[in-house]
């Protein structure tokens, strides 16, 4: 299986403090991978470097065999990366439909019929088909998170990076979200940064654990659940129960 995303020696420091240190990471195409770790483990910094919002202090990032270390975030999106933020980044004054249409136009240009079909499909898959006319800021926080995913879907990405996507979702919505991710995995690779360990264990094929900016462990959900170092890292910092 080919690798769609990899890093070698990826590091980032802030004023001499190491946030991420020498991380080697490989994500095979078609996999659902979860990235977990205690608060302050370096997850946000690591993902910010992956998507081009933060330059590394050293190291390399490759996407689909191409060195993208110095490419901007929009350039990475054009290559096939899509991502949602831990804090929603929808256009609050636009309708849900208009938000997704903006994302679709990045790929489809001015073909109105194709854009409309893409928008309808993305809203349907995320359970928002009845809310297309609602202004984004009037949606619940959980529905804004789903709207972000719909915007990502409209770009037909090769890799989706989802940062805390279930935050703000009701239990019934989380079940629908898990079904959505399993469906998406048929057509795209998924990197999931998530605190809800029940979601992680239900969805991830493999899990990477960061702690103090370094890879602490990597393996299947069963291997990570049984790993004493992972247990100690979480329990020692008040993190989630694995």
Instruction: Based on the fold, state whether residues 135 and 68 are members of the same structural domain.
Output: no
Q: In angstroms, what CA-CA distances link 156 with 44, 63, 65, 149?
A: 24, 16, 19, 11
> Is residue 88 assigned to a domain?
no
Domain closes at, from 103, 125, 156? 156
| pLDDT per residue as tens digits for the range 81-122 | 998 864 457 889 999 999 999 999 988 998 999 999 999 999
Asked if the model's pLDDT at residue 241 lies above 60, the reply is no
CATH number at 11 reads 3.40.50.300
> In this structure, are residues 207 and 220 in contact, taking their beta carbons and an 8 Å threshold?
yes
Res. 236 pLDDT band, cuts 50 70 90: low
* DSSP-assigned beta bridge partners for residue 63: 5, 66
pTM of the model: 0.88
Instruction: Based on the fold, state whether residues 109 and 198 are members of the same structural domain.
Output: no
Number of domains in the chain: 2
Domain residue limits at 133: 93-156
CA distance 142 to 42: 25
Instruction: Based on the fold, state whether residues 36 and 73 are members of the same structural domain.
Output: yes
The DSSP line for the chain is: --EEEEEEEEEEEETTEEEEEEEEEEEETT-EEEEE-STTSSHHHHHHHHHTSS--SEEEEEETTEE-TT--HHHHHHHTEEEE-SS----TTSBHHHHHHHHHHHHHTT-HHHHHHHHHHHHHHTT-GGGTTSBGGGS-HHHHHHHHHHHHHTT--SEEEEESTTTT--HHHHHHHHHHHHHHTTTSEEEEE-S-HHHHHHH-SEEEEEETTEEEEEE-HHHHHH-HHHHHHHHTTT----
Instruction: Based on the fold, state whether residues 76 and 189 are members of the same structural domain.
Output: yes
Mean pLDDT of the chain: 91
């Amino acid at each position: 299986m080919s690798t769609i995303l990899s890093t070698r020696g990826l590091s980032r420091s802030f004023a001499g403090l190491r946030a991420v240190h020498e991380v080697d990471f490989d994500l095979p195409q078609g996999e659902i991978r979860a990235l977990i770790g205690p608060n302050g483990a370096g997850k946000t910094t690591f993902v910010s470097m992956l998507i081009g919002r933060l330059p590394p202090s050293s190291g390399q990032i490759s996407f689909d065999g191409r060195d993208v270390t110095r490419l901007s975030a929009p350039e990475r999106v054009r290559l096939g990366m899509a991502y949602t933020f831990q804090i929603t980044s929808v256009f609050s004054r636009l309708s849900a439909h208009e938000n997704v249409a903006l994302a679709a136009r990045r790929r489809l240009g001015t073909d109105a019929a194709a854009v409309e079909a893409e928008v309808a499909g993305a809203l349907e898959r995320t359970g928002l088909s009845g809310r297309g006319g609602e202004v984004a800021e009037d949606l619940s926080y959980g529905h804004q998170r789903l709207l972000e995913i719909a915007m990502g879907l409209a770009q037909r990405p090769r890799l989706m990076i989802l940062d805390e996507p279930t935050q703000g979702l009701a239990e019934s919505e989380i079940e629908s979200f898990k079904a959505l991710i399993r469906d998406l995995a048929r057509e795209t690779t998924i990197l999931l940064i998530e605190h809800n360990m029940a979601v992680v264990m239900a969805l991830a094929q493999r899990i990477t654990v960061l702690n103090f900016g370094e890879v602490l462990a990597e393996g299947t959900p069963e291997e990570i659940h049984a790993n004493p170092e992972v247990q100690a890292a979480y329990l020692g910092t008040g993190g989630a129960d694995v």
